[in-house]
Amino acid sequence: MANPPFATRFDQETAVSRAGDDVFTGIIVPGWSTGRGPNGGYIAACILRALTERVADPIRRVRSLTVHYLAPPSTRPFRVITTVEKTGRSATFISGQMIQDDRLVAKAMAAFITPQPGPDFQDVEAPKVAPPEECPPLGAEVDHLVEMRNQFKTRFATGYPPFSESPTAETGGWIRLVEDRPTDSFALVVYTDGWLPAVYSKLPGKYATPTVDLSVHFRATDDPLPIADDAYCLVRFRTRMASGGFIEEDGEVFTADGRLVAQSRQLAILAPLG
């Protein structure tokens, strides 16, 4: 595979190689399973690698990524076929199809745009929480049930703990990859889908929550972020409605100093277990 920008296991496990002008190949590796297939954030990071390589312009950074999950991928090789839908002086819109054995498993659309002049304000506030070293691990009682949880260090810090039958479905805390590496757009993508679902805090039963689609907006002015390689990010997730077997989940990712660096929304199926 192509050499990733940072030589960590995460970079190796999301790396792609060019197999043509518009085609990239990679491998879905073990270790990212959620019980019903690989984690959606991990799949999104693999596709984003291919789209970034295809755009190949460090000034045009990813600002928006939406992935639809058509079928669960398997732990085997994949291809991402990329299509530049439109490009101009400041923006490139590009799509990507992840295929395994001629089976379409995911489709993505992304916008890569140069920095734009304009005002700078942030009216959303990060939760007021204790530092990571003073917070308990997240969901230690269920970590062994979800393989991909071993990819992160997590500390519960805000909202409600899992399976507490809380009045609202809201949870969050500190998250980082287990390895020290810069926090870039690929890490931010997996952070938006790396926490236990917020709905787990509200409902008394156990549920699977396979993702239908995941959208991420990247709000930072730098990629990677100008923070330490071992820094945690603070995340907050909320679900406000369950209906017809589906939920939405809204996410926010902040740096430790309260800067909002990513926002996400996903639609997921709410499937009872057992």
Domain contains 121: no
Maximal CA-CA distance, the chain? 53
**Residue 122 belongs to a domain:** no
Record the pTM: 0.95
Q: List, for residues 84-112, the tens digit of each pLDDT value.
A: 999 999 999 999 999 999 999 999 999 99
The dihedrals phi and psi of 253, each to the nearest 5 degrees, come to -125, 125
Q: How many folded domains does the chain comprise?
A: 1
The stretches of the chain forming alpha helices (DSSP H) are 9-14, 40-55, 185-191
- Provide the residue range defining the domain that includes 75: 9-115+131-272
Query: Does some domain include residue 125?
Result: no
From residue 261, how far is each of 56, 156, 177, 223, 254 by CA, in Å? Answer: 22, 19, 16, 10, 6
Q: Is residue 179 part of a domain?
A: yes
Residue 100 in domain: yes
Q: Is 117 helix (H, G, I), strand (E, B) or coil?
A: coil
The one-digit pLDDT tens for each residue of the chain (274 residues) are: 555 666 899 999 999 999 999 999 999 999 998 877 899 999 999 999 999 999 999 999 999 999 999 999 999 999 999 999 999 999 999 999 999 999 999 999 999 999 999 999 999 999 999 999 999 998 655 555 578 888 999 999 999 998 899 999 999 999 999 999 999 999 999 999 999 999 999 998 888 899 999 999 999 999 999 999 999 999 999 999 999 999 999 999 999 999 999 999 999 999 988 6
Q: Is residue 54 part of a domain?
A: yes
CATH number of the structural domain spanning residue 96: 2.40.160.210
| β-pair partners for 158 | 172
150 touches 178 (CB < 8 A): yes
